[in-house]
Structure 1
């Protein structure tokens, strides 16, 4: 994973404080300044249209305090509070601030807080990258004495038969038989592409042709969506339905 860049906004009603934090941000290689704002209202308008990772946020400001503003932020936007008043520290940690800088602070103190944010974003963004990279494109399955490479994009559905699974593929009239449980297979498949709809069936979501009442039609095969799996399947259908 390459070096992580953290986009940030500085919010403070004191021009000197704004300029000082800006100079600190510019010295820090992994921070990218998106905007300086002299009020929480200005910052709120900016964040409506721009994605921001981190706010350096003053607490005591007119109209809307930093604490109040922090409770309105998107869940992925984190905060380092900057304030001249140490009585806000406890309240700051209650809203899950990454750190708390007491004015006047020097660059070493600022950098320590910024490094804490860098560690947090590295952990979170690293997990996101792993999730994406772990989405498999193929599986090796044992069939007879061979290990067959199955492209997941070619799979129509998996059918469970006691200890065996039938793998039905596009342009292949006969299924591949492999010794495996459907439950074990389900844990290996990317959940964005496949869904268990019945105790005996996992379907490829992109290959569903028709949904009729409680049945899915794939390649002329009718597969019933059982009650146990219906809520999850209906949520997928609703998410992907055209709503005029």
Structure 2
């Protein structure tokens, strides 16, 4: 197994706290700092476009608190809270935080929390590796995903998905017989890596479609459940290959 490196982001509206955690991250070999943000809104925009393993997240911030922000994350990103107020500890664990650092904390305390994250992700990778080996043997394909939406982890059957629509920071998941989509914080790029290639295809910077649920192909447009989706030039070659391989 490859050496574990956790990609992390620091979020804190206090510059001194931000710089202190940055110094701790940089001296920890298995942590890679992608960005430090002075607000949850700034971090929200960044995470919507970049896969992040771990957040060091302050709780009391203007506009959007750390607790509110953490409830918007999908299960791929874990949180270690950093705060000066111990009354938030219980709430922190309710949103499945890996740990809770009470300011002021030293490097030993920080490292202990970071090691908890390292252990969690090591176990996760080992579990995925075992699952992949099992899938390779049985040739079974993934048929569902768990996505975080409105404080819950929802089990979404891939057979029910019509298409995924990417917004700036979110993805809309459009399902059969459902008038409203599921909304989740995730990038289309990260999602694309989780989907079976034989069933789903990226056809536009903002759309991944279910190949089995295409109703009509009309010139450079796909029609799924009355929704017209344009196949952009960037993805047209691969899509035309799919059409040719499945035409009479």
- TM-score for both structures, normalised by structure 2: 0.58
Q: Paired residue for 1:190, among 132, 139, 160?
A: 139
Name the CA distance, whole Å, in 1 between partners of 2:128 and 2:83. 32
Matched, 1:10 2:10: yes
Matched, 1:29 2:42: no
For structure 2, the 5+ residue unaligned runs are 143-198, 201-208, 215-221, 224-248
Aligned residues: 152
Superposition deviation, residue 130 in structure 1: 2.1
| Relative contact order higher in (CA < 8 Å, ≥ 6 apart) | 2
Q: Deviations over 1:198-227 (max 9, x none)?
A: xxxxxxxxxxxxxxxxxxxxxxxxxxxxxx
Matching of residues 109-188 of structure 1 within 5 Å: 109-136=109-136
Q: What secondary structure sits across from 2:114 in the alignment?
A: helix
Name the CA distance, whole Å, in 2 between partners of 1:83 and 1:39. 14
Name the CA distance, whole Å, in 1 between partners of 2:59 and 2:99. 13
Name the CA distance, whole Å, in 1 between partners of 2:95 and 2:84. 18
Q: Deviations over 1:148-197 (max 9, x none)?
A: xxxxxxxxxxxxxxxxxxxxxxxxxxxxxxxxxxxxxxxx622129xxxx
Name the CA distance, whole Å, in 2 between partners of 1:94 and 1:30. 27
Bigger Cα displacement from structure 2, 1-10 vs 125-134:
125-134
Name the CA distance, whole Å, in 2 between partners of 1:105 and 1:79. 17
Name the CA distance, whole Å, in 2 between partners of 1:84 and 1:71. 20
Find the structure with the greater CA-based Rg. Answer: 1
Name the CA distance, whole Å, in 2 between partners of 1:9 and 1:32. 9
Matching of residues 207-218 of structure 1 within 5 Å: none
Aligned to 1:65: 65
Aligned to 2:55: 55
Aligned to 1:206: none
Name the CA distance, whole Å, in 1 between partners of 2:92 and 2:141. 37
Cα RMSD, aligned residues only: 2.1
Name the CA distance, whole Å, in 2 between partners of 1:239 and 1:125. 27
Superposition deviation, residue 75 in structure 1: 1.6
Q: What secondary structure sits across from 2:48 in the alignment?
A: helix
Aligned to 1:240: 211
Aligned to 1:100: 100
Q: What secondary structure sits across from 2:101 in the alignment?
A: strand
Name the CA distance, whole Å, in 1 between partners of 2:117 and 2:39. 22
Name the CA distance, whole Å, in 2 between partners of 1:133 and 1:31. 27
Moved over 6 A (4+): none
